[in-house]
């Protein structure tokens, strides 16, 4: 058959590799800063741009979308061309993919540090960045599907199934979760409210883990692990079963982030059961990976690439066992709101995503630069530092989680909470936070060793932008299924049909959960005493969102006696109907704030207390790790935008009277004045539209309505 | 393909015993075996599906499992059986404790929980002055204990969870050691009280 000559585009792979390395260092460094801030609050540096609430989203976004994102692109662009025996479909699309993605990352870092955030975890970016992400992601998918169409290999290999699922899954998740109403260039409100927003957000949040951190990496594993080991994939059949089972089941599991919270029991049960059913499909990947290494274990000992891959697959197996267990309600009761989840995601992040990325880089770079790795010994040191760093990071956090949970729920013999001061349960685990910082530091040092090693490798080699290759023309003329061909073998040579089938498998779970929550009224029973936020409270809430207060404070009292004694009445679905977005939080580094407006309740503090606490938290709560917010008193709310915010809320269905936008600012100033007067009695001078006044008004709203008699 | 000397050639390591079921698949040198999925993983898969069906049946079809609201009620009942109602120590029946051990306990409680608002010596700040003659919520032991226990609209938080004994101790400490010392600080608030 006639051989065709073509060229692999190595340059685009090189670009993504460099971006992976650079953003990886940034992401890990920012993570280390966040870890230090929790152990020693002085690392907040008393500047608004570096408070934990802003730094933490930068860390998560940098790791997930910048480091892992670029690693996915690097790995996909490299392997896809070789697996399909063709150049990428379009150089222009490749370039848009690369530069667009880097632009998004820079925009994300700048906006998040400036306090521009939508307040939805792992989806904090504002509306115009969301649009950029959607566009660049579609470009990536277009380029990928185009490449499959111009391929010279008859069948599409398993790695690419996962790439396709990744493209479709992330596209669907990102678009549905990002529906938001822009108010200004820098501010938007989520279209969904309260419990509905929570369901959509955690459907997204959980599946961002699935389709950004899991499926693409399984695809990468299916290429790089057998390549590096020189061994065949253990079971083609297992590849098929666990692929379809995993992408179908994963999409249902999101509500396991909302167990014992203000969500209908049926939705919680779906979250529990589908998470349990995820165990075997997830482990399918681990098994196929580890069994592929049969006959190659002697080589694992000598190769840092393979060692990293083994740790990656093992960490993946651990996390995907732990995940379903954490979805059981009686385990989730402990793991939710504690450091357990933080430890869990770092096993996945450092071990699985980190490990596979490192393995992949050690594999690709010597091949692309046509030289040997500069130092196998240094790579080995990196391996041990990364593995040890991961353990020293995670183990103290598991310890902290159990300790703190036991303290939260312990009663004295007289029937009172044994640790009524929340702070004492935090200071108890601070030593664990110090150890976790050390784990992060080791991981970073290992990372830097890799950077040096790879730099020396690149410097010693020669890079070919256009790598020549040859392959026969593809004869795919027979469209119908051959009698001897299995159904799956047929669809493996029909990329468009394959993509459609994957889309259907993916879409079902989300639709079944989200559509009833948004459209069936009985799922959100209303409470008549719950009123919309006043303009001042709304502005206060926006500050709460923009500062990332939800990174440490929950607003969700669960129905446990030890929570209702500590905070007050447990949270109801109907309380949150005006919350765009919801702010239930996922980790209680500080106490829950859902009941801070209940006068005489255990969480109520007066305006002067809040003022002093924001000014200098340590002066009011000795030993607290809360950052200081002295600029809250100096900065004022931008009341020019307030009317537009009211109108936006009206559009979203919040029942302000018609024409209220024209009166909103006067109401805001009047309410602000009463708080300013109260502060004046304590010799505190503050203007009525100061940020601190708005935040206090918001905190005094939380839980107030539900404590009123109907 | 260039013939650079340093170019790494990816090798495929064939193994007679392990590769008996080799398929004709070859993707950039990656081969696949025709092994079935291990039986034990398929067993786990079917067991988890069975578990899920039973879970749904238990909670929804047969309504055997409690909803989370019912679970909470059960927990509260269990608590009440174990510890009884907490209201038996009626504030009216309280007396001022005078023995040194109780006052010392009260002082320790004050230092840990009250100084942030009422000042190290009771002179007030965010909270009222506890050393002067005027009191907002009354100055008898029952009134002071009540405001500490239940909190108040001015911003006094509830210390119910610290237990009646501690509350009585700190109220006694405030009334015997701080009241009447007339420290300069927060201005007079509330009504004169003996």
B35 to A608: CB separation less than 8 angstroms, yes or no: no
Is B3 within a domain?
no
B88 contacts on A by Cβ (under 8 Å):
none
Instruction: Name the closest residue on chain A to residue B9, using Cα atoms.
Output: A367
Whether B23 and B51 map to the same domain: the answer is: yes
Range of the domain at B25: 8-84
Residue A619 in contact with partner chain B when CB distance is under 8 A = yes
B2 has pLDDT over 50: no
Written as six digits, the tokens of A460 are 């010693």
Distances (CA, A) of A313 to A162, A318, A352: 16, 9, 6
Beta strand A3-9 pairing with A180-184 = unpaired
Q: Within this chain, do residues B100 and B173 fall inside the same structural domain, yes or no?
A: yes
B92 and B185 co-located in one domain: yes
- B133 with B115, same domain: the answer is yes
* pLDDT at residue B95 in the model: 85
Are residues B142 and B58 both part of a single domain? Answer: no
Q: Find residues 72-91 of chain B whose CB sits inside 8 Å of chain A.
A: 72, 75-76, 79, 82-84, 86
Q: Is B96 exposed, middle or buried (0-12, 13-18, 19+ CB in 10 A)?
A: middle
d(CA A541, CA A553): 13
| Final residue of a structural domain among B84, B101, B133 | B84
Surface-to-core class of residue B26, CB atoms within 10 Å of its CB (0-12 exposed, 13-18 middle, 19+ buried): middle
| Angstrom distance (rounded) from CA A32 to CA A447 | 13
Kindly determine whether residue B158 and residue A371, on different chains, have CB atoms separated by under 8 Å.
no
Residue B111 sits in the same domain as residue B72: no
Same domain membership, residue B94 and residue B117: yes
- Inter-helix orientation angle A355-368/A10-39, to 10°: 150
Q: What pLDDT does B91 receive? A: 54
CB contact under 8 A, B59 and A269: yes
Q: Which CATH number is correct for A535-707, 1.10.3720.10, 3.90.1150.10, 1.10.760.10, 3.40.50.1820?
A: 1.10.760.10
CA distance B182 to B188: 10
Residue A227 and residue B82: Cβ atoms within 8 Å?
A: no
Question: Which residues of chain A make contact with B71, given a CB cutoff of 8 A?
Answer: 559
pLDDT at A429: 97
Separation of alpha carbons A322 and A344, rounded Å: 8
B-chain residue closest to A269, CA distance: B56
On whether residue B2 sits in a domain, the answer given is no
User: Which chain B residues in 160-189 lie under 8 Å from chain A, judged by CB atoms?
Assistant: 160-163, 165
Is position B145 within any domain?
A: yes
Tell me whether A486 touches chain B (CB under 8 Å): no
Q: What is the DSSP string of A437-490?
A: HHHHHHHHHHHHHHHHHHHHHHHHS---SEEEEEEEPP-----SPPTTS-HHHH
Residue that wins the pLDDT comparison between A62 and A414: A62
- A 387-416 residues inside an 8 A Cβ radius of B: 411-412, 414-416
Under 8 Å CB-to-CB from A30, ≥6 apart: which residues?
A: A55, A58, A59, A62
Residues of A within 8 A of B129 (CB-CB) are: none
The three-state secondary structure class of A594 is: coil
> What pLDDT sits at residue B137?
87
- CB-based contact A232 B32, cutoff 8 Å: yes
Q: Is residue B150 part of a domain?
A: yes
Asked if residues B37 and A241 have their Cβ atoms less than 8 Å apart, the reply is yes
Show Cβ contacts of residue B100 under 8 Å, excluding neighbours closer than 6 positions.
Answer: none
Shortest distance, CA A39 to any CA of chain B (angstroms):
22
Band of pLDDT at residue A476, cut at 50, 70 and 90: confident
pLDDT surpassing 50 at residue B3: no
Average pLDDT score, chain B: 86
Exposure string for A333-368, b = 16+ CB within 10 A, e = fewer? bbbbbbbbbbbbbbbbbbbbbbbbbbbbbbbbbbbb
Greater confidence (B97 vs A437) lies with: A437
Report pLDDT digits (tens) over A114-158.
999 999 999 999 999 999 999 999 999 999 999 999 999 999 999
Rounded Cα–Cα distance for residues A273 and A249 (Å): 10
User: Which residues in chain A are contacts of B18 at CB distance < 8 A?
Assistant: 294-295
Residues of A in contact with B6 (CB under 8 A): 370-372, 461
Query: Are residues A611 and A692 in contact, defined by beta-carbon separation less than 8 angstroms?
Result: yes
Whether residue A478 has pLDDT greater than 80: no
**Phi-psi sector, A653: left (phi>0), alpha (psi -120 to 50), beta:** left
- Predicted confidence (pLDDT) per residue in B47-91, tens digit: 999 999 999 999 998 888 899 999 999 999 999 898 876 555 555
Q: A8-473+484-513 falls under which CATH superfamily?
A: Cytochrome c oxidase-like, subunit I domain (1.20.210.10)
Q: Across-strand partners of B134?
A: B192
Q: Looking at the structure, do residues B101 and B154 belong to the same domain, yes or no?
A: yes
3-state helix, strand, coil in chain B (%, to 5): 45, 10, 45
Distance, CA of A164 to CA of A503 (rounded, Å) = 9
Residue A228: closest CA among chain B residues belongs to which residue? Answer: B10
- Whether A710 has a pLDDT exceeding 70, the answer reads no
Within an 8 Å CB–CB cutoff, is residue B154 touching chain A? yes
The runs of H, that is alpha helices, within A278-413 are: 279-292, 297-302, 304-326, 329-335, 340-346, 355-368, 376-409
Torsion B54-B56-B58-B62 (CA) sign: negative
Q: What are the distances in angstroms from CA A475 to CA A1, A489, A495, A497? A: 10, 15, 15, 18
Q: Mean per-residue pLDDT for A205-209?
A: 90
Q: Does B96 share its domain with B184?
A: yes
| Cβ-Cβ contacts under 8 Å for A335 (sequence gap 6 or more) | A326, A341, A344, A401
Report the chain A residue with the minimal C-alpha distance to residue B163.
A416
Closest residue, chain A, to B65 (C-alpha): A265
**B69 and B134 both lie in a single domain:** no
Domain boundary among B25, B54, B84: B84
| Tokens found for residue A188 | 């938007």
CB of A245 within 8 Å of a chain B CB? The answer is yes
Contact B52 A414 (CB under 8 A): no
A82/B contact by beta carbon, under 8 A: yes
Cα–Cα distance for residue pair A389/A354, rounded to 1 Å: 12
Residue B47 lies inside a defined structural domain of this protein: yes
- Bond prior to A41 in cis (omega within 30° of 0): no
Q: B38, B54, B84 — which closes off a domain?
A: B84
Distance CA A309, CA A360 (A): 8
Facing residue for A276 by CB, picked from B10, B48, B151: B48
Instruction: Report the distance separating Cα B137 and Cα B128, nearest Å.
Output: 11
- Cβ contact B18–A235 (<8 Å): no
pLDDT reported for residue A543: 97
- Please name the member of B10, B41, B72 whose beta carbon is closest to the beta carbon of A287: B41
Cα dihedral: B172, B178, B182, B188 (round 10):
-60
A157 and B CB contact within 8 Å: yes
Residue that the structure tokens 């975890």 belong to: A121
pLDDT tens for A42-87 read 999 889 999 999 999 999 999 999 999 999 999 999 999 999 999 9
**Residues B77, B94: one domain?**
no
Q: Is residue B121 part of a domain?
A: yes
pLDDT at position B7, please?
A: 61
Q: Which two tokens stand for residue B90?
A: 């009626």
Give per-residue burial for A381-404: e unless 16+ CB within 10 Å, then b: bbbebbbebbebbbebbbbbbbbb
A366 three-state secondary structure: helix
Question: Closest residue of B to A157, CA-based?
Answer: B27
Query: Is B164 found in the same domain as B94?
Result: yes
Residues pairing with A187 in the sheet: A184
pLDDT of residue A629: 96
Interface of A with B in 527-566 (CB under 8 A): 559-561, 564-566
Interchain pair A421, B165: CB under 8 A: no
Q: Do B71 and A559 touch (CB under 8 A)?
A: yes
B16 pLDDT higher than 90: no
Residue A468: how many CB atoms within 10 A of its CB?
11
Exposure string (b/e) for A169-189, b if CB count within 10 Å is 16 or more? Answer: bbbbbbebbbebbebeebbbb
Q: Is B26 on the interface with A (CB under 8 A)?
A: no
Å between A523 CA and nearest CA of chain B = 15
Q: Is A241 on the interface with B (CB under 8 A)?
A: yes
Per-residue pLDDT averaged across B9-14, rounded? 82
| Cβ–Cβ below 8 Å for A227 and B45 | no
Please report, to the nearest 10 degrees, the dihedral formed by the alpha carbons of residues A425, A426, A432, A433 taken in order: 170
Number of A–B residue contacts, CB under 8 Å: 210
Question: Is A606 in contact with B55 (Cβ distance < 8 A)?
Answer: no
Q: Which residue of B has its CA nearest to A6?
A: B1
What is the structure's pLDDT at B153? 75
Cα dihedral across residues A317, A322, A323, A327: positive or negative:
positive
Closest in A83, A153, A238 to B37, CB measured = A238
DSSP classification of residue A337:
B
Cα–Cα distance, A94 to A115 (Å, whole number): 32
DSSP line for A484-545: TS-HHHHHTT-HHHHHHHHHHHHHHHHHHHHHHHHH-GGGS---TT--PPPHHHHHHHHHHH
Report the distance separating Cα A35 and Cα B47, nearest Å.
40
Q: Any bridge partners for residue A400, and if so which?
A: none
**For residues A233 and B30, is the Cβ–Cβ distance under 8 A?**
yes
pLDDT reported for residue A597: 93
| Domain ranges, ordered by start, for chain A | 8-473+484-513, 535-707
C-alpha to C-alpha distance for B165 and B97, rounded to whole angstroms: 10
CB contact, 8 Å: A231 with chain B?
yes
- Evaluate whether residue B107 is within a structural domain: yes
ipTM score of complex: 0.92
Identify which of B13, B83, B161 has the shortest CB distance to residue A602. Answer: B161
Number of domains in chain B: 2
CA atoms within 13 A on the CB side of A623: 12
User: What pLDDT score does B85 carry?
Assistant: 64
Are A294 and B18 a contacting pair at CB < 8 A?
yes
Q: In the structure encoding, which two tokens stand for residue A469, read together?
A: 């290759």
Judge whether B1 lies within some domain.
no
- Mean pLDDT to the nearest integer, A342-370: 97
**Among candidates A227, A232, A370 on the partner chain, residue whose Cβ is nearest the Cβ of B19:** A232
Q: Are strands A466-472 and B22-27 parallel, antiparallel or unpaired?
A: unpaired
Question: For position B190, what pLDDT does the model report?
Answer: 85
């Amino acid at each position: 058959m006639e051989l065709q000559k073509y060229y692999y585009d190595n340059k685009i792979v090189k670009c993504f590799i460099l971006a992976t390395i650079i953003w990886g260092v940034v992401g890990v460094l920012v993570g280390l800063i966040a870890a230090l801030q929790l152990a020693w609050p002085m690392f907040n540096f008393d500047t608004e741009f570096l408070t934990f609430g802003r730094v933490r989203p930068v860390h998560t976004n940098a790791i997930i979308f910048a480091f892992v994102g670029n690693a996915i692109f690097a790995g996909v662009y490299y392997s896809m061309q070789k697996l399909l025996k063709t150049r990428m479909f379009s150089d222009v699309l490749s370039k848009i993919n690369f530069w667009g993605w880097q632009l998004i990352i820079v925009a994300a870092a700048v906006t998040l540090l400036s306090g521009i955030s939508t307040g939805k975890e792992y989806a904090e970016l504002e509306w115009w960045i969301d649009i950029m992400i959607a566009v660049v992601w579609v470009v990536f998918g277009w380029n990928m599907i185009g490449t499959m169409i111009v391929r010279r290999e008859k069948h599409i290999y398993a790695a690419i199934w996962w790439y396709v699922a990744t493209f479709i899954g992330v596209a669907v998740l990102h678009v549905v979760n990002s529906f938001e109403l822009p108010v200004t260039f820098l501010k938007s409100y989520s279209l969904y409210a309260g419990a509905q927003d929570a369901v959509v957000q955690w459907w997204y949040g959980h599946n961002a883990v699935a389709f950004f951190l899991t499926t693409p990496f399984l695809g990468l594993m299916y290429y790089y692990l057998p390549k590096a080991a020189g061994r065949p994939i253990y079971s083609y059949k297992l590849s098929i079963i666990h692929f379809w089972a995993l992408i179908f089941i994963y999409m249902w599991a999101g509500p396991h982030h909302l167990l014992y919270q203000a969500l209908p029991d049926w939705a919680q049960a779906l979250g529990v059961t589908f998470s349990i059913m995820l165990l075997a499909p997830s482990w399918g990947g681990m098994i196929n990976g580890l069994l592929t290494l049969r006959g190659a274990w002697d080589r694992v000992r000598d190769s840092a690439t393979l060692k990293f891959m083994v740790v990656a697959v093992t960490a993946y197996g651990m996390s995907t066992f732990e995940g379903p267990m954490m979805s059981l309600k009686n385990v989730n009761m402990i793991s939710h709101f504690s450091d357990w989840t933080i430890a869990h995601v770092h096993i996945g992040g450092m071990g699985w995503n980190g490990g596979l990325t490192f393995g992949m880089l050690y594999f690709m770079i010597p091949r692309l630069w046509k030289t040997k790795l500069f130092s196998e010994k240094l790579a080995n040191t990196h391996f041990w530092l990364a593995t040890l760093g991961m353990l020293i990071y995670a183990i103290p956090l598991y310890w902290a989680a159990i300790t703190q949970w036991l303290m939260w729920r312990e009663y004295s013999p007289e029937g009172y909470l044994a640790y009524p001061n929340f702070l004492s349960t935090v200071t108890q685990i601070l030593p664990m936070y110090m150890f976790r910082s050390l784990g992060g530091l080791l991981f970073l040092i290992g990372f830097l060793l890799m950077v040096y090693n790879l730099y020396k490798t690149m410097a010693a080699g020669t890079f070919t932008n256009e790598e020549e290759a040859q392959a026969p023309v593809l004869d795919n003329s027979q469209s119908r299924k051959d009698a001897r061909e299995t159904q799956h073998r047929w669809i493996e040579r029909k990329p468009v049909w394959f993509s459609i089938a994957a889309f259907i498998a993916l879409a079902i779970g989300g639709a079944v959960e989200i559509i009833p929550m948004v459209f069936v009224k009985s799922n959100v029973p209303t409470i008549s005493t719950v009123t919309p936020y006043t303009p001042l409270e709304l502005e206060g809430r926006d500050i709460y969102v923009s500062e990332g207060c939800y990174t440490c404070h929950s607003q969700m009292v669960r129905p446990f006696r030890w929570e209702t004694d500590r905070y007050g009445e447990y949270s109801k679905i109907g309380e949150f109907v005006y919350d765009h977005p919801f702010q239930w939080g996922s980790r209680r580094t500080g106490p829950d704030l859902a009941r801070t407006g209940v006068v005489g309740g255990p969480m109520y503090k007066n305006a002067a207390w809040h003022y002093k606490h924001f000014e200098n938290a340590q002066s009011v709560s000795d030993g607290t790790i809360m950052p200081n917010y002295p600029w809250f008193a100096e900065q004022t709310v931008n009341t020019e935008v307030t009317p537009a915010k009211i109108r936006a809320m009206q559009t979203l269905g919040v029942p302000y009277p018609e024409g209220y936008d024209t009166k909103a600012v006067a109401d805001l100033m009047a309410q602000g004045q009463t708080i300013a007067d109260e502060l004046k009695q304590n010799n505190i001078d503050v203007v009525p539209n100061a940020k601190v006044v708005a935040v206090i008004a918001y905190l005094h709203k939380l839980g107030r309505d539900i404590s009123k008699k109907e | 393909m260039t013939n650079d000397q340093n170019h790494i050639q990816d090798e495929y390591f064939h193994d007679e015993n392990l590769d008996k079921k080799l398929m004709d698949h070859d993707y950039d040198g990656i081969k696949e075996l025709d092994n079935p999925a291990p039986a034990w993983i398929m067993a786990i898969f079917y067991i988890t599906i069975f578990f899920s069906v039973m879970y749904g049946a238990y909670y929804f079809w047969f309504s055997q499992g409690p909803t989370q609201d019912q679970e909470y009620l059960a927990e509260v009942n269990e608590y009440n059986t174990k510890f009884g109602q907490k209201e038996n120590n009626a504030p009216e029946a309280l007396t001022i404790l005078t023995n040194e051990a109780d006052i010392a306990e009260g002082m320790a409680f004050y230092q840990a929980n009250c100084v942030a608002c009422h000042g190290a010596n009771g002179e007030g700040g965010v909270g009222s002055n506890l050393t002067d003659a005027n009191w907002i919520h009354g100055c008898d032991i029952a009134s002071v204990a009540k405001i500490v226990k239940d909190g108040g609209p001015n911003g006094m938080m509830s210390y119910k969870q610290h237990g009646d004994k501690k509350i009585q101790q700190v109220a006694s400490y405030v009334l015997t050691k701080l009241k009447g010392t007339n420290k300069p600080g927060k201005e007079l608030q509330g009504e004169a009280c003996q």
